[in-house]
Chains A and B, each alone.
Chain A
Amino acid sequence: MSDANEPTGNAHQAWQRALDEGRFLIQRCGGCAQAVFQPRELCPHCGHGRLAFEAPAGTGTVYATTVVRRKPAEGGDYNVALIDLDEGCRLMSRVEGVPPAEVRIGQRVAARVQVSKDGKGLVLFDPLTAATATPAGAA
């Protein structure tokens, strides 16, 4: 089990600490067993007070996607997406490895952690394999 069960700090701090060490964690509820993201102190589904951190498989599906338009001089366009993890929870992230406008809803993606020079961890996603999108309209 992760350092999340240490008595100090809140759920967010524990999560960020692990992320900064390169580990992406989600929570699972000790009451209703549902996966939970974002990190919390109480289960939003059942109110249970014991949420344990675990490492997700890291695979998921693009739920929604947009391209934020930015001037080329300022770095150009980039993707922002909502990803449904296979464990059943959702998070905002960015899909890389394909042009931002080519990210597709239903596309299968895999998580990786990128740690910046100043030591901040960030969860990003890459396409799992080429052309794995589920048929449009699948909901």
Chain B
Amino acid sequence: MRPARTPDNRALRGACAIAGVATFGCGEAHGHDDMSLLAQAARLAVADAGLTMDDIDGIATCSAGASMWVMPAIEHLGINANYIDGTMLGGSSFIAHLLPAMRALASGQCNAVLVCYGSAQRTSTLSRGAIGQARRALDPQPYEQPYEPFMPASAYALAASRHMHQYGTTRRQLAEVAVAARAWAQLNPEAFMREPLSIDDVLNARMVSDPLSVRDCCLVTDGGGALVLVRSDRAKDLPHKPVHVLGAATACWNRQISSMPDLTVTAASQSGAQAYAMAGLAAKDMDVVALYDAFTINTLLFLEDLGFCAKGEAGPFVEGGAIAPGGRLAVNTNGGGLSCVHPGMYGIYTLIEGVRQLRGQGGERQVAGAKLALCHGNGGTLSSQATAILGTAETL
């Protein structure tokens, strides 16, 4: 792994804003497929932006199953785009789509980019076993597959084992993450799992891949999500308060967990540092934090790598409900992938929740006076990392 050359994207700080967001079919969406969920979310996000599909001349999307997904999406929506991005980096993709889209918007290549996603993985008639088998054939990992790790859980379990060994992190601290996410979910009518959840419930749940129990693992749901990105000057004339993209960056150091240089340090340390540098901000400035919590260890790793606490200290940091409602830091206020929604690739929901919080649309879970949000996506098995920093007009 060669060291990164740090880019200077400060000229793009605040150049673009998210003008529309929408979710559709979160949870169980019987009768839908990936495309219909994407299309319904796209329709709602474009309307939320006060635009019509005719205004959309840029698109960014990808799918875990279809490698050329952006083309059927264009066909289905009838979009004639001057800007097309089908980059697939797993669950971090939709955050990774922001910076290239900002560049395209800023240069005048296009005027409105639709970032969209849909997955019916929960109710799909294609079994997860069949999908897994197809992936093993199309995306072989011959140095891991023979050992039958239960992916993706086992990769995160290995990282958790290492974090526990190196820093004394406990299963109880991991459980704090799941319990905090559930407490937020209880304030979000859209969240899929809202029953009470205790630390003991997490600790006593069926083990999947030690030290992770089933309650340390994200949901498997259906869901669509979409957002519309425009230049900031145009966003001022649209219905909602613009939410500006102040910083964005993507990093990837490996594909397989066995190739990750240090299981306790993710590429979020790089994407985060670059996003902060572009925004001219730091962790301490953030009011709302949306982290890709595919597994409880993710939240701990990203709190450290994104500078909310020192390396190795996330376990103690989250104790006592510190990231739950009323805690010291508002993390995953929608309930996260652990309790709100997780249709295969969760990243776009971190942006949607960030926008809703900065618009003051959080309802019962609203973080009072939120002006700055950090949204972070993870893809693969701790492989790709993408960070975005969003801010209200007064943060420009």
Q: Which of A1-9, A49-57, A62-70 contacts B (4 or more CB under 8 A)?
A: A62-70
A64/B146 in contact, CB under 8 A: no
Q: How far is the CA of A68 from the CA of B208 in the complex (A)?
A: 6
Q: How far is the CA of A50 from the CA of B164 in the complex (A)?
A: 38
Min CB gap B342→A, angstroms: 21
Q: How far is the CA of A68 from the CA of B207 in the complex (A)?
A: 9
Q: Of the candidates B165, B209, B259, which one forms a contact with A66 in the assembled complex, judged by CB atoms under 8 Å apart? A: B209
Q: How far is the CA of A137 from the CA of B167 in the complex (A)?
A: 7
The 8 A CB mask of A62-101 against B (1 = contact, 0 = none) is 0111111100000000101110000000111110000001
The 8 A CB mask of B195-227 against A (1 = contact, 0 = none) is 000000000001111110000000000000000
Chain B contacts of A131 at CB under 8 A? none
| Max chain A Cβ within 10 angstroms of own Cβ: one of B146, B147, B149 | B147
B143/A66 in contact, CB under 8 A: no
With A80-B154, A91-B143 in contact, do A64 and B263 touch (Cβ < 8 Å)? yes
Min CB gap A11→B, angstroms: 11
Closest A residue to B161 by CB, please name it: A64
Q: How far is the CA of A28 from the CA of B263 in the complex (A)?
A: 23
A93/B209 in contact, CB under 8 A: no
Q: How far is the CA of A137 from the CA of B159 in the complex (A)?
A: 15
B209/A78 in contact, CB under 8 A: no
Q: How far is the CA of A12 from the CA of B146 in the complex (A)?
A: 14
B143/A69 in contact, CB under 8 A: no
Q: Of the candidates B150, B162, B165, B259, which one forms a contact with A68 in the assembled complex, judged by CB atoms under 8 Å apart? A: B150
B161/A91 in contact, CB under 8 A: no
Min CB gap A13→B, angstroms: 10
Q: How far is the CA of A67 from the CA of B150 in the complex (A)?
A: 10
B55 interfacial by beta-carbon distance below 8 Å: no
Closest A residue to B168 by CB, please name it: A137
Min CB gap A65→B, angstroms: 5
A63/B147 in contact, CB under 8 A: no
Closest B residue to A105 by CB, please name it: B165
User: In chain B, residues 247-305, which have Cβ atoms closer than 8 Å to a Cβ of chain A?
Assistant: 256-259, 263
With A66-B161, A91-B258 in contact, do A38 and B207 touch (Cβ < 8 Å)? no
Closest B residue to A136 by CB, please name it: B165
Chain B contacts of A137 at CB under 8 A? 165-166, 168
Residue tally, chain B, CB below 8 Å to A = 30
B1 interfacial by beta-carbon distance below 8 Å: yes
The 8 A CB mask of B141-184 against A (1 = contact, 0 = none) is 01110111110001001110110011010000000000000000
A80/B161 in contact, CB under 8 A: no
Min CB gap A138→B, angstroms: 9
| Max chain A Cβ within 10 angstroms of own Cβ: one of B146, B150, B211, B256 | B146
With A66-B157, A82-B158, A136-B165 in contact, do A92 and B208 touch (Cβ < 8 Å)? no
B161/A38 in contact, CB under 8 A: no
Min CB gap A10→B, angstroms: 12
B209/A69 in contact, CB under 8 A: yes
A30 interfacial by beta-carbon distance below 8 Å: no
A139/B149 in contact, CB under 8 A: no
A68/B209 in contact, CB under 8 A: yes
Binding site for B on A (CB under 8 A): 12, 16, 37-38, 44-45, 63-69, 78, 80-82, 90-94, 101, 105-106, 120, 122, 136-137, 139
Beyond A38-B259, A64-B159, A64-B263, list 7 extra A-B contacts (CB 8 Å): A64-B158, A64-B161, A67-B210, A69-B207, A69-B210, A80-B147, A92-B147
Binding site for A on B (CB under 8 A): 1-2, 142-144, 146-150, 154, 157-159, 161-162, 165-166, 168, 206-211, 256-259, 263
A-B contact pairs, 18 of them (CB 8 A): A45-B2, A63-B162, A64-B165, A66-B149, A66-B210, A67-B209, A68-B148, A68-B149, A68-B154, A68-B209, A69-B207, A80-B149, A80-B154, A80-B209, A92-B147, A94-B147, A105-B162, A120-B146
